[in-house]
Structure formats: structure tokens, C-alpha cells
Amino acid sequence: MKWFIEACASSIGRKVITGLTGLFLCLFLLIHLTGNLNLLGGEAKFDAYANFMHANPATPILEIGLLAGVFLHVAMALGLAMKNTSARGDSSYAMVRSKRGGDHVMSKVMVYTGLVILVFLLLHVYQMRFMKFGAAKGLCATGEPCFNSTIDVLKHAPTALFYILACVLLIPHVAHGFQSAFRSLGLHNERYNGLFNKISYGFALAVMGGFISLPVWALIKF
């Protein structure tokens, strides 16, 4: 455990942890989207998927792992942001910043978009678990119908608009984070920088476009 504490205390360690947790969260987004797209298959298909997830004994473990991943990612990212802010008076830091001005600006944007996304995540969990929309209260427990309660949340116009906004903000956040993660882990090859950037934005657009399609579909269809 000592190595982990030491990693959290160093800039390099924070970058590596931020990168690893960022890739983990990208994987989660892809898996979560795959499951959510069952909504398009209708009530029976989505309820079967949701009830399987609720009944699966591994789900609570995965939820705890996800929560830990989000916490670590936010904590390490904020730690790096504060470290960079405190180093602004350093001339050597200023020189590096001038050479990589785009990265610096994007890193600052990542902090703010990340905070908006965190608020969205908390709201999303609250609405899906506890908040009452229409005839249903939150998402289902094991064996209960889930399709209608999920649609009630997604077709609620203010919520749908906030979901769409959060997903739009996630596009540059995920794309830049995807690139930064590989760079922090030493897996980014400058020779293929252009191609890698296109892959990163392609991944972010595809995943976030999938999430955006769900509230849009619910608003139009229901």
C-alpha cells in the first residue's frame, strides 16, 4: 500500500493513475452504452437486461469499483491541476506552457468539464435510483419492470436537455483524456499523432452520440 500512497504523492504517479482510471472509465462508458441500447429493443429486452444486472451478485462489486475509479480519477486530476496552478510562477514551467499552450488550455477546460460531468453523474444516479417520474420511482429492483421508469426519466425535457449537454461536454473530455492517458502511460507514439487523435475523437463521438440518441429517441417516441 506504501507504493500507492507514494504514487499519489508524486506528479508522475498522479498522471499514471489518472491515465489508468481514465481508460477504465472509457471502457465503462462503452459497456454502459451497450447495455443501455437495449432500450431500443423494447420493454421485454431492456427489462431482461436490467433484471439480469440487478440479480447479478457481481454488480455491487462492479459498482464499488466504478465509484473508486471515479473518485481516484477526480482526485488525481484535481491534484495535478492544483500542482500546475501553483507552478505558474516558475519560469521553466512558463516556458513549457508556452510550447504546449494548446495542451495547457485543454487541461484547464478538462477540470471544468469534469466538474460538470461529476454533477451530471450524481444527478443521474439520484434520478435513476430514487427520484420519482411519472408512475415509477427510480430504476427497478430485482424482478420489477425497468423500461417504463427509465423512459420516464429520459423523456423528462429538462433532464433530457441536461443529459444531452453533459454528453456534448464529454466529447472533448473523453477524446483528450483518451489521448492524455496513453501519453501518461508512455504508449503514445508521436509518429502516429494525427491518426491517434482521429481515433480518440472517433471513439468519443461514437460513444457520446450513442448516449445522446437515447433521450432524443425517448422525447420523440414517447
Angle (CA) 166-160-113 rounded to 5° is 10
pLDDT for residue 70:
86
- The answer as to whether 152 is a domain residue is yes
Please report whether residue 97 resides in a domain. no
Orientation angle between helical segments 43-55 and 147-154, nearest 10 degrees: 100
Looking at residue 144, what is its pLDDT?
57
Other Cβ atoms less than 10 A from the Cβ of 148: the count is 16
Please give the DSSP secondary-structure letter assigned to residue 171: H
> Distance between CA 66 and CA 29 in Å, rounded?
11
State the DSSP H helix or E strand holding residue 133, giving kind and residue range, or none if neither.
strand 132-133
Q: For the chain of 222 residues, list the mean pLDDT of each consecutive stretch of 10.
A: 70 82 90 94 90 84 87 82 65 46 61 80 74 48 70 88 90 85 72 82 95 95 90
Q: Which grid coordinates belong to 104?
A: 495547457
Q: Return the bridge partners of 136, or none.
A: 133
The pLDDT value recorded for residue 97 is 47
Q: Which domain holds residue 195?
A: 2-87+102-221
Whether 215 is in a domain gets the answer: yes
pLDDT at residue 95, rounded to an integer: 42
> Which pLDDT belongs to residue 133?
47
**Cell of residue 78, nine digits:** 484535481
| DSSP per-residue string spanning 47-110 | HHHHHHHHH-TTHHHHHHHHHHHHHHHHHHHHHHHHHHHHTTT-HHHHHHHHHTHHHHHHHHHH
The reply to whether 23 falls in a domain is: yes
Residue 85: per-residue pLDDT? 67
- Specify if 93 maps to a domain: no
Tell me if 43 is assigned to some domain.
yes
In a domain, residue 194? The reply is yes
Return d(Cα 85, Cα 92) in angstroms, integer: 13
The number of helix segments (H) and strand segments (E) in the chain equals 9, 2
pLDDT of residue 99: 46
Q: Is 94 within the bounds of a domain?
A: no
Q: Give CA–CA dist 144/63, Å, rounded.
A: 20
Residues 25, 93: Cα–Cα separation, whole Å = 30
Residue 191, classified by CB atoms within 10 Å of its CB into exposed (0-12), middle (13-18) or buried (19+), is exposed
Predicted confidence at residue 210, as pLDDT, reads 96
Q: How many domains in the chain?
A: 1
DSSP 145: -
Distance CA 64, CA 70 (A): 10
Could you give the dihedral angle defined by the CA atoms of residues 48, 70, 8 and 81, in that order, rounded to the nearest 10 degrees?
150
| CATH code where residue 14 lies | 1.20.1300.10
